[in-house]
Amino acid sequence: MTKFTNEEMQEKYLAKKAKVLLHHPQGMGNYFTFHAAAEILGIDGHALAIDGAYNVNAPGYYDMGYMANLIGPPQSAIDAMIKATNKELLSVYPPDISGELREIVAKKKFHREIGEDFDVMGVEGAQGGIGYAYLTFLDPGDEIIVTDPGYFHFSPSAESIGAVIKTVELNEENQFRLKPEQVEAVITDKTKMIVVCDPINPFGTIQTKEELLEIARIARERDIIIFNNITHNTHHVDETVEQIPMASLHSEEHPMDHVISTSGTSKGYGMPAARVGFLAGHPALLRGAFLIKMETTKIHINYQGQMGAIAAMKDKEYLEKSTEIIKRNLKHIQETVAMVEGVKIPILPKYGFSMIIDVSETGATAQEITVGLLKRKVVVTPGDGLGERGATEYIRLNYSFPDIVAFEALRKALPEAIAEAKEGVYREGVIKFYEKVGSTRGKEIIEKLKSMN
């Protein structure tokens, strides 16, 4: 009997939605990560990510690429989860989310009251919010507006169900924010959703109140859903500005019942393993999302995680201390960038712990520098997984590491990695990675790398 190749098996058996992701430039495994860098260095990437983790958790490495709160959860959350772990509570299906958690999330994260025009449901982290929102509101052929660069999973997830991506480029001209006039310029009669990620991953910038109101008006007049992802809004690093959840702008003059919002506990409270997230909006629309969830995963949010989330959101001391750590780290990176020739910060973040450094003037690509940094046990993420813009020029950093030693390691490693990368020693390895992936973006990066030889 004939034995099929991997490619033949995929072609024969995979659904179209899965095939879309096989070579998608933002599909997991198709953009450059520490696994690709490790292979070039002759290191077993799986040995760096112990027990199949998505982050590097091997001793002696500093992972500034993985986008979780590296400070970890407050002790109050751990204590609450331990207290809630017993035979009685583990032997029954929990509620979607408890009444107390629903009220706290509505007020603390979305600045709304639970009522006839607003409610909150539980999802498996903000990532679950993305998936359920797309499945609930997007049909094949619908257009969805996202930023470029933007969060890894905004585009491939939508395209896998047949939606069409329309992008608004983030750059110096628009101060790395969604400008209403630029959003309006790409709207067509097929536009169904606008993704407003605020703070914006990867830059940490925020929208103004005026911008949010105008985007909401534009969308409402055209029956377009807004998906407002605010998962990075917990840590306030620039106190001269204030992030505003779109849901909180609801009024008779400015109705926000076409806004679906999501947040979670991974970024703000260091609890990614708990998988506690929230989808919020008008109950009539959440009803659709709830049914989609029940008929696909039927997963209730675990009770222990819910209790931990309640405790974490009440812990003001944790929030203050973790914010100070993040501010300290940002200052350290600013000082480091000022010391390294050819590196700059395109814009300083306002919230969260996601930022970009621009290496376009170093004479090497972000991918090559990523390899050089991994050699020195510093882990980062280059820009090709985030979009077309900055694909080889941007490096995204997570600056929430609790120990300053991680940032001292970056300070020492960055100029050394750049100097090594400029020699082209990793160029062929990066080219081979993208040849194997076979994505359109990868082919463009290959051409750029070859032109540098």
CB 357 within 8 Å of CB 345: yes
Nearest to 245 by CA among 278, 220, 283, 287: 278
Choice among 53-57, 142-146, 356-360 with the minimum mean pLDDT: 53-57
pLDDT at position 146: 98
Q: How confident is the model at residue 379 (pLDDT cuts 50, 70, 90)?
A: very high
Q: Tell me the three state secondary structure of residue 411.
A: helix
For residue 213, the model assigns a pLDDT of 98
Burial 360-389 (b: 16+ CB within 10 A, else e): bebbbbbbbbbbbbbbbbbbbbbbbbbbeb
The 10s digit of each residue's pLDDT in 53-64 is: 788 888 999 999
Burial 82-100 (b: 16+ CB within 10 A, else e): eebeeeeeeeeebebbbee
Query: What local confidence, expressed as pLDDT, does residue 50 receive?
Result: 81
Q: How far is Cα 196 from Cα 208, in angstroms, rounded to an integer?
A: 12
Give the C-alpha separation, 449 to 451, whole Å.
5
Question: 381 forms bridges with which residues in the sheet?
Answer: 396
Residue with tokens 């926000």: 256
User: What per-residue confidence (pLDDT) applies to 96?
Assistant: 87
- As a three-state string, the secondary structure of 28-42 is CCCCCCHHHHHHHHC
How far apart are alpha carbons 40 and 430 in whole angstroms? 8
| C-alpha to C-alpha distance for 2 and 9, rounded to whole angstroms | 12
For residue 355, the cross-strand partners are 397
* CB neighbour list of residue 252: distance below 8 Å, 6 or more residues apart: none
* Distance (Å, whole) CA 265 – CA 67: 12
**Distance of alpha carbon 331 from alpha carbon 336, whole angstroms:** 9
Give the pLDDT of residue 49: 85
pLDDT digits (tens, 9 = 90+) for 190-225: 999 999 999 999 999 999 999 999 999 999 999 999
Backbone phi, psi, residue 336, to 5°: -65, -45
User: Which tens digit of pLDDT belongs to each residue from 380-418?
Assistant: 999 999 999 999 999 999 999 999 999 999 999 999 999
Per-residue confidence (pLDDT) for residue 1, from 0 to 100: 74
The least confident of 123-127, 192-196, 283-287, 374-378 is: 123-127
Q: What is the mean pLDDT of the chain?
A: 94
Residue 97, CA distances (Å) to 93, 106, 278 in order: 11, 12, 9
Name 166's bridge partners: 145
In whole angstroms, give the CA distance from residue 421 to residue 395: 14
Residue percentage of the chain with pLDDT more than 70: 100
pLDDT band at 452; cut points 50, 70, 90? confident
Q: What is the pLDDT of residue 54?
A: 82
Task: Say if strands 394-398 and 381-382 run parallel, antiparallel, or are unpaired.
Answer: antiparallel
- Asked if 354 and 203 count as a contact pair (C-beta separation under 8 A), the reply is yes
User: Whole-angstrom Cα distance, residue 210 to residue 201?
Assistant: 20
CA-closest candidate to residue 45, choices 60, 58, 27: 58
How far apart are alpha carbons 384 and 31 in whole angstroms?
6
| DSSP codes joined into one string, 186-237 | H--TTEEEEEEESSPTTT-----HHHHHHHHHHHHHTT-EEEEE-TT-S-B-
Asked whether the predicted pLDDT for residue 453 surpasses 80, the reply is: no
Check residue 300 and give its pLDDT.
80
Alpha-carbon span 10 to 5, nearest angstrom: 9
pLDDT band at 248 (very low <50, low <70, confident <90, very high): very high
Does the model's pTM come out above 0.85? yes
Q: What tokens were used for 417?
A: 């990695």
Q: Say how far apart CA 435 and CA 83 lie, in whole Å.
A: 51
> Which are the contacts of 36, defined by CB distance < 8 A and separation ≥ 6?
367, 430, 433
Percent of the chain at pLDDT above 90? 86
Task: State CA 337 to chain mean position distance.
Answer: 23
CA 210 to chain centre: 24
Q: List alpha helices for 297-342, DSSP H.
A: 303-314, 316-339
CA-based angle 17:23:29, to the nearest 5? 105
pLDDT digits (tens, 9 = 90+) for 310-349: 999 999 999 999 999 999 999 999 999 999 999 999 999 9
Which residues are bridge partners to 27 per DSSP? none
Query: Mean of the pLDDT values across residues 277-287?
Result: 96
Give per-residue pLDDT as tens, 157-166.
Answer: 999 999 999 9
